[in-house]
């Protein structure tokens, strides 16, 4: 049994956090491993639930642990970073993380033809109520849900409705099918709190802060290729913007 030392100046929750950190550093606990439950940690280290919770929150804030709603607490992977340059898009989510030797995967939630909302119509430069292709999906990095994404295309891309899009790059499919690639993009960033749907799909608590990215992808100076709305977990993913 691992007994902490309550007579030390260092608070017990810090001692426990240090003990868990040591197990991560010596790879007793590896990236992606689930750590013992609160009750197990209480028994192992002979401490209170309050101490355990403070230790876990301390390590979550430090970025060493990651909570997954309804599944427990896990050793966090190194922070994921996608670089966005002020030049034409040359890759995709899939390509970016394959180049980093990480495993990007995708789960399709919706893949339907629907009527364009006023917002979608404005982004795509079409009339409201016009049929459009709507695709929603969850993007994972090394099995961690990182992004919930909604993609909106004009009806000329209805071939996407018949394709298997699991773990596929939409940009890659469009390039190989129609020989089209993006020339530039326009992004708007803001913080939004997870609603019940986001919370369930991204395995976070309701009201968890998400980075909301509204992105319009252009084929040329005037034609919109498509646009999307991304809801990004702020604890596992970050954007780096570089000017060129």
pTM, two decimal places: 0.71
**What is the distance between the alpha carbons of residues 14 and 20, in angstroms, rounded to a whole number?**
10
Query: What pLDDT, in 10s, does the model give residues 180-223?
Result: 888 888 889 999 999 999 999 998 888 889 999 999 999 887 88
**Cβ–Cβ < 8 Å for 93, 139:** yes
Domain 80-242 of CATH type 3.40.1410.10: yes
Sequence ranges of the domains in the chain: 12-75, 80-242
Q: What pLDDT does 85 receive?
A: 44
Element (H, E) at 200: helix 196-202
Instruction: Grade residue 2 by pLDDT with cuts at 50, 70 and 90.
Output: low
| C-alpha to C-alpha distance for 54 and 179, rounded to whole angstroms | 54
- CA dist., res. 218 & res. 63, Å (int): 35
> Are 84 and 238 in contact, with CB atoms under 8 Å apart?
no
Give residue 87's pLDDT band: very low, low, confident or very high (50, 70, 90): very low
Fold topology of 12-75: Arc Repressor Mutant, subunit A (1.10.10)
Are domains 12-75 and 80-242 of this chain identical in fold?
Answer: no
């Amino acid at each position: 049994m691992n007994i902490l030392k309550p007579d030390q100046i260092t608070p017990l929750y810090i001692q426990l956090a240090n003990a868990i950190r040591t197990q991560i550093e010596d790879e007793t606990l590896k990236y992606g491993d689930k750590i013992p439950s609160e009750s197990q940690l209480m028994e192992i280290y002979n401490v209170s639930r309050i101490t355990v919770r403070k230790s876990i929150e301390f390590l979550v804030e430090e970025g060493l642990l990651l909570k997954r709603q309804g599944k427990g607490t896990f050793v966090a992977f190194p922070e994921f970073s996608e670089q966005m340059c002020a030049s034409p898009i040359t890759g995709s989510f899939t390509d970016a993380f394959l180049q980093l030797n990480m495993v990007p995967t995708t789960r399709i939630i919706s893949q339907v033809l629907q009527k364009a909302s006023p917002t979608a119509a404005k982004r795509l430069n079409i009339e409201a109520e016009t049929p459009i292709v709507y695709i929603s999906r969850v993007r994972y990095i090394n099995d961690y849900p990182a992004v919930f994404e909604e993609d909106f295309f004009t009806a000329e891309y209805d071939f996407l409705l018949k394709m298997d899009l699991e773990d596929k790059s939409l940009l890659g499919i469009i390039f190989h099918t129609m020989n089209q690639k993006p020339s530039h993009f326009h992004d708007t960033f803001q913080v939004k709190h997870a609603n019940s749907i986001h919370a369930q799909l991204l395995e976070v608590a309701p009201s968890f802060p998400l980075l909301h990215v509204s992105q319009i992808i252009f084929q040329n100076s005037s034609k919109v290729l498509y646009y999307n709305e991304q809801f990004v977990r702020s604890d596992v993913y970050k954007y780096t913007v570089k000017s060129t």
